[in-house]
Amino acid sequence: MDARTVAGQLAIDVNGLGQVRRQARDDPRAALKTAAQQFEAVFLQMVLKSMRDATPKEGIMDSEQTRLYQSLLDQQLAQTLSAKGATGLAALVEKQLARGLPGNPAEALQPQGTLPSAAPLPRAAAAERGMAATDAAVAAPLLPAAGAEKANAVPAPAREFVSRLWPHAREASQATGVPAHFMIAQAALESGWGRAEPKLADGSSSHNLFGIKAGRSWRGAVVDVATTEYVNGVPQRSVERFRAYASPAEAFRDYADLLVSNPRYAAVLNQQDPAAFARGLQQAGYATDPMYADKLTRIIGGTTLRAGLAG
């Protein structure tokens, strides 16, 4: 099943999965290419759906029937574009996963369940604080160099991030009862493992690791950041004002004070279960991104954080 076959195949063809399975037995590398194209098609379909949802719906042509056929058209369009390599995402996924094929001398060193850092997914937003939390943070911060040993597969920036923040996380843990590595994981999600901390006008870091907004009661330094907020499930870009700190230690202390002083986060305090901690934050309104809790849970249990802690 080559690219032309995928492009000409109906998106609703129920036999497509069976064909990929058969192809995987006969020609794994070709099947991988097909699967990567289908992954890109799903991604493009989600993009098209978000665009449709954001478009005003009115007029005599708007009905359940027209929306159904429009959805089918978008599915077919996404599949055709993916077969033509419209975004390059399929090629990146194929290249990354091909390392694990039998007989391939290069092993896949990236942690399981992640995408190449060269293809970051759209940024998601936080509600109360509003700072963008990146999907790239779920993945390893940087791919290790080719030929790196498995024991050293986790990039140095991730190990340095954990090592630098660990003492401050331990201090905040004593104040909140939340395990230190839970907070490290959330800081990684919010700041892209330290690479997306808001910058001040002079280029220095604001040390805002948790995306806390500067509300009316804030009397400290601030930094304006272009971010994404989800309103009724639709992402919207805006410029928001965030708190700026003198150091990571100050950021962790302010984060701990937020959890302790705000009754909405009572269920989060002393929480030892990763999934319950992540859900508690989202249910309390910490983030508008509907996938925020899932992303945070994945980082807490991910190989990047575990290896960083071990290092």
Q: Are strands 234-243 and 222-231 parallel, antiparallel or unpaired?
A: antiparallel
- Known catalytic residue: 229? yes
User: How many Cβ atoms sit within 10 Å of the Cβ of residue 266?
Assistant: 12
Q: What is the identity of the amino acid at 49? A: K
Encoding tokens for residue 103?
């007989």
Give the integer Cα–Cα distance in Å for 52 and 69: 13
Q: What angle, 0 to 180 degrees and rounded to 10, lies between the N-to-C axes of helices 248-261 and 156-176?
A: 40
Q: What is the identity of the amino acid at 268? A: V
Residue 147: name the closest of 96, 106, 103, 92 by CA.
106
Q: What angle, 0 to 180 degrees and rounded to 10, lies between the N-to-C axes of helices 28-54 and 64-83?
A: 140
User: How many Cβ atoms sit within 10 Å of the Cβ of residue 95?
Assistant: 13
Q: What is the identity of the amino acid at 141? A: P
Phi first, then psi, for residue 237 (nearest 5°) are -85, 140
**Residue pair 48/16 in contact by the 8 Å Cβ criterion:** no
- Known catalytic residue: 254? yes
Given 40, 128, 254, 289, which residue is catalytic? Answer: 254
Given 135, 229, 240, 289, which residue is catalytic? Answer: 229
| Residues labelled as active-site residues | 229, 254
